[in-house]
Structure 1
């Protein structure tokens, strides 16, 4: 008969120790069986096997109850301590990958109008992850730059990278109520040629300065004097200029919902519904990084938030 000094704590011994810990906690093989989803007979057999492996009895068995032996009490204390330490170790291993810095590249408008107001929720879920965010609309060189994840406004085709679709987008012309009245715009899109248009100079990487207005006009079968207006390097600046009464901007509906709901901005052409943009929002990373715990955590979080939105 082997004893503890001459035996190794192999997987069978560890499984039997778990049965012992449960039975000792309840002083019942029946309750231990329920807790571990085993039969009472299996629990009893594993305890007897463990006693054989250790070389001493763990329980005094009476007709209707169990009682720990002195050796069983000593082993229970040590087993509980060891299992607690093991559980803590496993938790540490799991959470180790969910700590540190996560570097993001995000389009400025998406950051300011959608992401930033939701990051507190991510931080509460993962307090040991610290965000480092850059805001620009260009494509990232994941080989040369210290960026873990990027959000792109585009068509989702990024060779050598992996991408996940986040949200579609719709385009809608917006201005203030006063501007619409002053220029007699309500229901008269042809009058856009007599007022300043506000442009995002680069709505997505490699796009031209009038790309969104041009696409919207084509979809509405309108001819517009696109160069009659002002260009900004960020979509949010064009929208902010529209709020000030400078002109009419092409708004991305997802990012201007609050302004529309408050009527700070309006669609002066009610009969013309928002059109589906050719671009959407995509979460992008290098293929080699997609399974990193910190990246998976952010991906799962943002997809859940978008679903809720």
Structure 2
């Protein structure tokens, strides 16, 4: 009997050792990509995940935390998100406090793994202030100026080259190809906006996400809410924006895929009471891209969709 218990204890010890080896291997595989050898990347927003896939190509496996219609300003990380972050070898996030409370988690993780804010290379003097519109020190919606998003692509490139030097040259080439596409996109947007008569280049949206777009492509931008959707708006904000639409004969406003439309509908109804007709010019993608597998589910496709929607409604 004693010998049997000794054998059982030995088997239990052996099982425990094997389990530790398996778990360690799984953990290592999660960070490096397992048998495929891909670098495991976790990105907070869809726009960042798209850049990581473009620059990383076949050498990365990218997981995005925030899908279509998700508002990053109000986002709270789940336990599942924490696991995805922990399993990643590389984490990309926007920075400039777009991710709100998640920033603290990401900063803590930066002590044990590669964590990069893709906005870190944008010159500070090119950032818009966010303090005047209920936001943080800087406006985080930098992706609406394509030239700024080129800096983000470069930050992704440099980080992947550091994390996976074996494929550094491939990342460099793929980044150059993507940057060429972004440069063409920047020119394309600039030309399209010129189709709108100058007096009609007024973009009115649910929250002030398009400031960089207006600054880069010569449009006046107005939002009912401030930089962050966490900022409250009141009856005075609604009435002031309504009066502006009436007084300036603005014909269209835009709703956003990640922000409820009811506030803009209230403004339209208020303008109608004053005898002025305002229509919804279309839905824009602001803080989140479209569904995966659609044109709007990529950064370039999202920017093209927004630009075309704006031009068709205002020209």
| Structure with the higher fraction of residues in helix conformation | 2
Q: TM-score, normalising length from structure 1? A: 0.30
- Relative to its length, the structure with more strand (as a share) is 1
Return the structure number with greater relative CO, CA threshold 8 A, min gap 6: 1
Q: Which has the larger radius of gyration?
A: 1
